[in-house]
């Protein structure tokens, strides 16, 4: 798949009809704790007010929140906790190491890393979610096409990708080596949905060949 430099010029963001703005690469602004400006319930934001990127020594910033050294918090998801250290943000990975018995599966939840429920035998009483023609059992994860969402099948799902069935994906760019403060540009795959950048291009190394403004189709 072709890679392109997708530059969202905050001062020049165009209105896009509809509430789903995930084609514009705006998820990283949410990740940084920026506040959307302009737009309404039917249009995407036209700009963002972002908090101070750099922080004082002995503190860390993640998702717009300042943490003191020693504080623990969720990173990109509940299976990747993080801790504020003097050298920056330290990351950990939880390995549940769970293997279901034959004919069974583990039902998951969005707020817990490891499954606490193994479902076996007849699945007659298990909720089944139909997501654009594909069926998921209760407790199974899915990612709806066209959205930067992490979802799970659970009772009363009616086909809408909203809480408590879905939550926003987190890119965790603040867990990297601070690619934002030096005004690095996010690089995205040329796809209909732009969630997390595949990398960042530093200004001194960038050669812009194709800029796509928000609202443009190509």
**Res 11 pLDDT > 70:** no
**Res 211 pLDDT > 70:** no
**pLDDT at position 140, please?**
95
Identify the burial level of 99 via C-beta atoms within 10 angstroms of its C-beta, where 0-12 means exposed, 13-18 middle and 19 or more buried. Answer: exposed
- Using an 8 Å Cβ cutoff, are 158 and 46 in contact? no
User: How far, in Å, CA of 186 to CA of 4, rounded?
Assistant: 10
- Asked which of 9-23, 129-143, 203-217 is least confident by mean pLDDT, the reply is 9-23
Averaged confidence pLDDT in the chain: 81
**Among 8-12, 38-42, 51-55, 59-63, which range has the highest average pLDDT?**
59-63
User: How far, in Å, CA of 205 to CA of 202, rounded?
Assistant: 5
- Asked which of 22-26, 28-32, 37-41, 54-58 is least confident by mean pLDDT, the reply is 37-41
CA dihedral 50, 77, 69, 177 (to 10 degrees): -60
Query: How sure is the predictor about 152, in pLDDT bands with cuts at 50, 70 and 90?
Result: very high
Length of the chain in terms of residues written:
218
**Res 71 pLDDT > 90:** yes
Torsional sign, CA 147, 170, 65, 80: positive
pLDDT cut 90: percent of the chain above it: 34
**pLDDT at position 1, please?**
36
């Amino acid at each position: 798949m072709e890679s392109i430099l997708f530059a969202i010029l905050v001062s020049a963001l165009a209105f896009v009809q509809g509430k789903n703005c995930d084609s514009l690469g705006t998820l990283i602004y949410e990740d940084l704790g920026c506040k959307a400006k302009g737009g309404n319930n039917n249009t995407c934001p036209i700009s963002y007010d972002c908090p101070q990127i750099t922080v004082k020594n002995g503190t860390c910033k993640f998702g717009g929140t300042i943490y003191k050294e020693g504080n623990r918090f969720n990173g990109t998801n509940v299976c990747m906790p993080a801790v504020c250290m003097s050298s920056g943000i330290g990351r950990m990975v939880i390995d549940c190491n769970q293997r279901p018995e034959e004919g069974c599966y583990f039902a998951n939840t969005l707020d817990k890393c490891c499954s606490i429920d193994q479902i076996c035998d007849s699945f007659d009483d298990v909720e089944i979610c139909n997501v654009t023609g594909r069926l998921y059992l209760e407790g199974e994860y899915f990612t709806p096409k066209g959205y930067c969402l992490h979802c799970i099948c659970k009772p009363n799902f009616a086909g809408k990708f909203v809480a408590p069935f879905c939550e926003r994906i987190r890119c965790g760019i603040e867990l990297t080596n601070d690619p934002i403060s030096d005004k690095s540009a996010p690089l995205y795959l040329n796809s209909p949905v732009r969630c997390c950048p595949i990398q960042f291009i530093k200004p001194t190394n960038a050669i812009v060949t194709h800029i796509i403004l928000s609202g443009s189709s190509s």
